[in-house]
Amino acid sequence: MVDTYKRTSNPMMHRPVVKPELVKWMRESQTQLSGEITEVLSFAKNNNIPVIPHETVLYFQMLLSLLRPKRILEIGTAIGFSALVMAQASPEAEIVTIDRNLEMIELAKENLSKYDHRQQIILKEGDAQEVLTELSGAFDIIFMDSAKSKYVEFLPRAMELLAPNGVILMDDIFQAGEILIPIMEIKRNQRALERGLRRLFDEVFDNPKYLTSVLPLGDGLLMIKRAE
């Protein structure tokens, strides 16, 4: 019985997690965005500004509808697309978003002024490490989509700000598979980023303080919450 199970299950275990054609299918077959938010998305695409991909948008919509967060913290505003997605999915939530890139801040301000009709989103300007020390209260969801090397540095303060049953989400942790490559084989200007991510993995994986889950959405999404 065991031998039969091994023979039949092993081929499945060695298949790629998500093939390119399946990613294309997910992005084209699932419910498409509509309304004003598509104007922000079109601007991002036309100007080569990275935003969360469609499958991640839909996952956020599902997650937020289940968790019904009262407060959301985002580190990495960019042009405000993901903050607006979360505001749309959680119309009762207060959303605090942080960025230090002046060009992105100006674009985000324009988008929030135009599309944040319920005035849910508070944009904080400055270095996230400093802004985090100024925040108070608990956040039900903390979403990080900024300098990947800093995730591990943001984590301690993020855990302090996290509500008892809250969730931290960190985007783009696969780095197109570079996390599997020996550090000295990575381009020199990318090594600090990779070292930061590997420090993060060393900190949270197999740590009894945390529950973690890695989702193959976009370029990898890491979920972290306190262990019970």
The reply to whether 206 sits in an annotated binding site is: no
Closest CA to 213 of 169, 155, 159: 169
Residue type, 218: G
The reply to whether 172 sits in an annotated binding site is: no
The reply to whether 128 sits in an annotated binding site is: yes
DSSP secondary structure code for residue 133 in this structure: H
The reply to whether 52 sits in an annotated binding site is: yes
Where does the chain show beta strands of DSSP type E? 71-75, 94-99, 121-125, 139-144, 162-171, 210-215, 221-226
Closest CA to 145 of 88, 42, 219, 214: 219
The reply to whether 29 sits in an annotated binding site is: no
The reply to whether 82 sits in an annotated binding site is: yes
Closest CA to 200 of 181, 172, 176, 161: 172
Annotated binding site: 52, 82, 99, 127-128, 145
Annotated binding site for S-adenosyl-L-methionine: 52, 82, 99, 127-128, 145
